[in-house]
Amino acid sequence: MITLTVDDRTIEAPEGSSVLSACLAAGITIPHLCWLEADTPADAPAACRLCFVEIDGFREPVTACTVTVENGMTVHTGTDAVRNLQKTALKLLLSVHRVDCKHCPANKACALQDIARFLGVGLTCKPFERVLKEPDVDPRHPVLDYHPNRCVLCGLCVRVCRHRHGKSQLSFAGRGFETVVGYFDADPGAAADCLSCRACLDVCPTGALVVRTGDDG
Ligand code: FES
């Protein structure tokens, strides 16, 4: 086991684990959206840019999901620099997010709401302009609807499907602002089983993927 200090607390973590997983296992809150339990620092995508921490000896804040724990490491999770980076990352996510919580199935079980509350950030995106994608709902999947304006592009759905089934029924598509999670008829037979699996639905932090009911939307 590795011993490190986090916010003046001594914790232990398995060798090879990330600073983020070590902190979370010790009950220390670090905002995060794109980390999967199976991630090692080498394969964490660091897509959400929320899990910043400061570590003594590092020149600047780093994403906790991509740094491996080391013996004697000293980590700070709540400095001004860390909070400013996290608030900016969250506001950028909100700037491309349809904030319509009352009509979202993830309302009150939404990681974005939890992180906003933790950071003391309102769900407006000031000072950034809000820009939304068209169309608001992508119905290409046989049984699921995808809402690009609720999606934070964490990639958890794509990766959990690949972990579970060896290849993913979902994939990123497009570039830049146009990036979405798409369904590409990779295996229509397998997609019919999505309702019994539900892994992507369970892991989605925001309600971007929902079972098609005919009236959601
Ligand atoms: Fe580290 Fe998203 S959890 S960048």
| Tokens encoding 212 | 């098609």
pLDDT value of position 13: 96
Of all protein residues, the one whose alpha carbon is nearest to atom 4 of ligand 1 is 46
Residues 84, 125: Cα–Cα separation, whole Å: 14
- Cα dihedral 201, 206, 209, 215 sign: positive
Counting Cβ atoms within 10 Å, is residue 44 exposed (0-12), middle (13-18) or buried (19+)? buried
pLDDT (tens digit, 9 = 90+) per residue, 161-182? 999 988 888 999 999 999 999 8
Same fold for the pair 2-91 and 95-211: no
Ligand 1: list residues with CB < 6 Å.
Answer: 20, 32-35, 46-51, 63, 65
pLDDT value of position 185: 64
Pocket residue to mutate for ligand 1, from 28, 30, 63, 92, most atoms within 8 A of Cβ: 63
- State what percent of residues in the chain have pLDDT above 90: 75
pLDDT value of position 77: 98
Q: Which residues of the chain have pLDDT under 50?
A: 216-217
Q: Where are the domains of the chain?
A: 2-91, 95-211
pLDDT value of position 188: 67
Q: Name the CATH architecture for the domain at 95-211.
A: 2-Layer Sandwich (3.30)
pTM of the model: 0.91
Looking from the CA of residue 64, the nearest atom of ligand 1 is 1
Tell me which fold the domain 2-91 belongs to.
Ubiquitin-like (UB roll) (3.10.20)
pLDDT value of position 179: 92
Residues 41, 21: Cα–Cα separation, whole Å: 9
- Strand arrangement, sheet containing 52-55: 9-13, 2-6, 74-76, 52-55, 62-63
pLDDT (tens digit, 9 = 90+) per residue, 135-152? 999 888 888 899 999 999
